[in-house]
Amino acid sequence: MNIKKIVITGAPGTGKTLLVKALENQGYHCFPEIIRDMTFAAKQGEETKTHTTNPLTFVDDPFRFNKKLLEGRREHFRASLNLNVSICFFDRGIPDVLAYMDYFGQTYPSEFVKACREHKYDQIFILPPWKEIYVSDNERMESFEQAEELHTYLKATYERFKYPIHILPKTTVQERATLLLDMIN
């Protein structure tokens, strides 16, 4: 079965996870974002150093953290190939790892780029920064201004891998879900 693999991405606080949950509530298979759990675990575990806006500054080994994140997203991708569904959604995709590493000025080996080239999604939907709904919390530490900058990096990274980008408008979760599903079909 040829499964459509759809990524929903965007800067922190743009409503991605709410949109993914709305799609899941409609019966679609959705792969959740894994960075929030990883960030929480790193902050609670032995890796904790200090609290800053960059989650990678409080882990002992930022490269290992990113490699684990990359592998988790690859596992989601591989798992999608065995689903018995026509469409599945991902709360962020593999290229998000590179976008964040670029934003924070971190280098990465060619295996990170190779992962992006070898695991291709069918469509990419980016939610734009939206100040009125933006909230920071224990796992979302970026300021709204940083979220705006990250949006630019995310868009550029997906374009780097030749993805056409669909920007979803700032509207209700249900309207975004309906629009997204209409655009896929």
- Residue-wise pLDDT for 106-130, tens only, equals 999 999 999 999 999 999 999 999 9
- Residue-wise pLDDT for 17-58, tens only, equals 999 999 999 999 999 998 765 665 555 554 444 434 455 555
Q: Is the pLDDT of residue 101 over 70?
A: yes
Whether 11 contacts 150, CB under 8 Å: yes
As a whole number of angstroms, the distance between CA 157 and CA 175 comes to: 27
Q: Per-residue confidence at 133, pLDDT binned at 50, 70, 90? A: confident
Structure tokens at 31: 């792969």
Give the residue extent of every domain in the chain.
4-184
At residue 42, the pLDDT reads: 56
Structure tokens at 10: 């965007």
Task: Report, in angstroms and rounded to the nearest whole number, the Rg of the chain calculated over CA atoms.
Answer: 16
Q: Which helix (H) or strand (E) holds 67?
A: helix 62-80
Q: What is the largest CA-CA distance in the chain?
A: 47
End-to-end Cα distance, the chain: 17
- Name the one residue in this structure whose structure tokens are 């924070």: 104
**Model pTM?**
0.87
Higher local confidence (pLDDT), 136 or 115: 115
CATH of domain 4-184: 3.40.50.300
What amino acid occupies position 122?
D
Q: Is the pLDDT of residue 131 over 70?
A: yes
Q: Which helix (H) or strand (E) holds 102?
A: helix 95-103
| In the chain, beta strands by DSSP E | 4-10, 29-31, 87-91, 123-127, 165-167
Strand partners, 38: none
As a whole number of angstroms, the distance between CA 181 and CA 185 comes to: 6
Q: Per-residue confidence at 60, pLDDT binned at 50, 70, 90? A: confident
Structure tokens at 131: 């100040």
At residue 139, the pLDDT reads: 60
